[in-house]
Structure 1
Amino acid sequence: MSLLEIRNLSVEFATASGAFRAVDGVDVTVDQGDLMAIVGESGSGKSVSMLALMGLLPWTATITADVMTFDGRNLQKISPRARRQIVGRDISMIFQEPMSSLNPCFTVGFQIKESLRLHTDLTRRQRHDRAVELMTLVGIPAPEKRLSAFPHQLSGGMSQRAMIAMALACRPKLLIADEPTTALDVTIQAQILELLIELQETTGMALILITHDMGVVAETVQRVSVQYAGQRVEEQPVTDLFENPHHPYTAALLAALPERATERHLPTIPGVVPGQFDRPQGCLFSPRCRFADARCRAEVPVRANAGMGFALCHYPLDKGVPQPRKDTA
């Protein structure tokens, strides 16, 4: 049985001009000890998908799913109290902006110990010792001293490490890292990613890495789910994805990597991710796809099989060449 299983997840936000669907029919499956990435441009619904799982979206969001289970428990049917016992203990999340996610009014030590107080039976002294252990684990020097520091007294890298310590406090079964290296310099980025992978290997937890950095994906994960405009458009093992992407959007993302550039100027994807008022009738990627035809612009594509990376495309690619579907051959 999978640790996490989500089927046909959709998230709509109520706005003054109508409902906007930020996530549209996304599937996510994570096994024990799994290491996967969710990639895509900003506005692809990556973070919203996971915030829906965590129950952290505002009241304007309407969340629907055919299945949403974690460790055999139906997250849609359990009480809010029971859900709070899971979130923060068995499922933890490292948020994108540590300086805005940490509470500026409380010390880092207080915020780490608060999670332990809510989810464990440890005594005050044991919580303090565990907080020191966590700060040491994530590589923060002088941990006893840093526990009494406020977030503004820490650098960006230290704040991110403190966030990781807080997320790991209760030894979660699943850790969601939402662009954990945003706004950090390259050296710190490498340290944070190395730390996450090391902790994943030593603790056996599952890790979902949300990012738009394909270079990071290539070096860290085992499986990749590609999202575009709120939809999962492809999912493959990382090696297969880089060698033979099946969705034109995935192929375009990989072609834009500097190390793959064959000309003086980097290839780009024209246009932008569609928003509330400019969503195409057929394939959502069709206005930006160089392979799109009239069918792509008029008909919603049917998902391909696992051999073609579950590509949501009328003509999934094979070695860069569009393949006619059987229903159109």
Structure 2
Amino acid sequence: MPLLEIRNLSVEFSTTSGKFRAVDGIDVTVEPNDLMAIVGESGSGKSVSMLAVMGLLPWTATITADVMAFNGHDLRDMTAKQRRRIIGRDMSMIFQEPMSSLNPCFTVGFQIKESLKKHTDLDRKGRQNRAIELMQLVGIPAPEKRLNAFPHQLSGGMSQRAMIAMALACEPKLLIADEPTTALDVTIQAQILELLTSLQEETGMALILITHDMGVVAETVRRVQVQYAGQKVEEQEVGALFDDPHHPYTAALLAALPERATERRLPTIPGVVPGQFDRPQGCLFSPRCRFANAHCKAVEPVQASPEMGLALCHYPLSHGEPTNREKAS
């Protein structure tokens, strides 16, 4: 049985100018001890889809799904009280900005021990010892001293490590890391990623890494799900994805990597991710796709076979070329 199973997840936000669909029919399956990444540009619905699973979206969001189950529990039918028993204990999340996610009014130690107090039977001394153990686990020196520090007294790397310690406090079965290295310099990024993957191996938890950095994906995960404009457009094992991407968007993302550039000018993807008022009628990527034709612009695509990476494309690519060149011309 999958640890996390999501089918046809959609999220709509009510705004003063109408409704905006940020997530459109996403499917996600995570097995125990899985290690996967969700990638895509900003505005692809990566964070929103996982925040919907966590139950952390505002009241303006309308969430629908055919299936939304975690560890055998149907998340759709849970009350807020029932969900709070799972969130923070069996399912945890590391948020994008540690400096804005940590409460500036409380010490780091208080915030780590708050989760332990909520979800475990440890007494005060036990919570203190566990907090020190967690700080050591994530590589924070002098943990007894750092527990009494406020967030503003920590560097960006230390704040991120403290966030990881909070997320791991109750030994979750699933950890969602939302852009965990975005605000950090390159050397600290490597340390945080190595820490997350080593902890995943040691504890056996499943890890979902949300990122737009394909270099990070190549070095970190086993399986990749690519999202664009709120839709899942491809899913493959990491090696197969880098060797033979099947969706034009995935291929364009990989072509934009500096280490893959063959010309002096770095390849780019023209245009931007469609928003509330500029969503095309057919394939959402068609205005930016060099292979798109009139059919692509008029008719919504359907998922291809698993052999073609479940690509949401009329003409999935094979080794860089559409499977049907005549139709795609």
User: Normalised by the size of structure 1, how large is the TM-score?
Assistant: 0.98
Kindly state the Cα deviation for residue 80 of structure 1 after the two structures are TM-superposed.
1.5
For the aligned residue pairs, the C-alpha RMSD in angstroms reads 1.1
Quick one: distance in 1 between partners of 2:45 and 2:210? 10
CA offset digits 1:141-170 (Å, max 9, x no partner): 000000000000000000000000000000
Quick one: distance in 2 between partners of 1:231 and 1:316? 16
User: Are 1:229 and 1:274, in contact at CA under 8 Å, matched by a contact in 2?
Assistant: yes
Q: Which residue of 2 aligns with 1:309?
A: 309
Q: Which residue of 1 aligns with 2:324?
A: 324
Kindly state the Cα deviation for residue 54 of structure 1 after the two structures are TM-superposed.
0.3
Quick one: distance in 2 between partners of 1:192 and 1:298? 44
Which amino acid in 1 is paired with 2:26?
V
Quick one: distance in 2 between partners of 1:82 and 1:58? 18
Quick one: distance in 2 between partners of 1:97 and 1:176? 14
Quick one: distance in 1 between partners of 2:307 and 2:94? 33
Q: Which residue of 2 aligns with 1:163?
A: 163
CA offset digits 1:82-101 (Å, max 9, x no partner): 11000000000000000000
CA offset digits 1:243-265 (Å, max 9, x no partner): 00000000000000001000001
Kindly state the Cα deviation for residue 81 of structure 1 after the two structures are TM-superposed.
1.1
SS of match in other structure, 1:126: helix
In structure 1, stretches of 5+ residues that fail to align are none
Quick one: distance in 1 between partners of 2:210 and 2:272? 20
Kindly state the Cα deviation for residue 45 of structure 1 after the two structures are TM-superposed.
0.3
Kindly state the Cα deviation for residue 215 of structure 1 after the two structures are TM-superposed.
0.3
Task: Report 1:42-53 matches (<5 A).
Answer: 42-53=42-53
Q: Which residue of 2 aligns with 1:154?
A: 154
Quick one: distance in 2 between partners of 1:291 and 1:78? 44
Q: Which residue of 2 aligns with 1:233?
A: 233
SS of match in other structure, 1:254: helix
User: Normalised by the size of structure 2, how large is the TM-score?
Assistant: 0.98
CA offset digits 1:36-81 (Å, max 9, x no partner): 0000000000000000000000000000000000000100112221
User: Are 1:23 and 1:231, in contact at CA under 8 Å, matched by a contact in 2?
Assistant: yes
Quick one: distance in 2 between partners of 1:98 and 1:260? 32
CA offset digits 1:185-238 (Å, max 9, x no partner): 000000000000000000000000000000000000000000000000000000
Quick one: distance in 2 between partners of 1:296 and 1:232? 17
Quick one: distance in 1 between partners of 2:312 and 2:2? 23
Quick one: distance in 2 between partners of 1:201 and 1:303? 32
Q: Which residue of 1 aligns with 2:209?
A: 209
Task: Report 1:283-302 matches (<5 A).
Answer: 283-302=283-302
Task: Report 1:17-28 matches (<5 A).
Answer: 17-28=17-28
> Are 1:276 and 2:265 matched, yes or no?
no
- Which 4+ runs in 1 deviate beyond 6 A? none
Which amino acid in 2 is paired with 1:232?
K
User: Are 1:314 and 1:324, in contact at CA under 8 Å, matched by a contact in 2?
Assistant: no
SS of match in other structure, 1:275: coil
Quick one: distance in 2 between partners of 1:278 and 1:79? 36
Q: Which residue of 2 aligns with 1:108?
A: 108
Quick one: distance in 1 between partners of 2:187 and 2:152? 21
Quick one: distance in 2 between partners of 1:250 and 1:182? 21
User: Are 1:34 and 1:205, in contact at CA under 8 Å, matched by a contact in 2?
Assistant: yes
Q: Which residue of 1 aligns with 2:120?
A: 120
Kindly state the Cα deviation for residue 324 of structure 1 after the two structures are TM-superposed.
2.9
SS of match in other structure, 1:63: strand
Quick one: distance in 2 between partners of 1:51 and 1:114? 21
Per mean C-alpha deviation after superposition, the further-off stretch among 88-97 and 78-87 is 78-87
Quick one: distance in 2 between partners of 1:306 and 1:133? 43
Kindly state the Cα deviation for residue 183 of structure 1 after the two structures are TM-superposed.
1.2
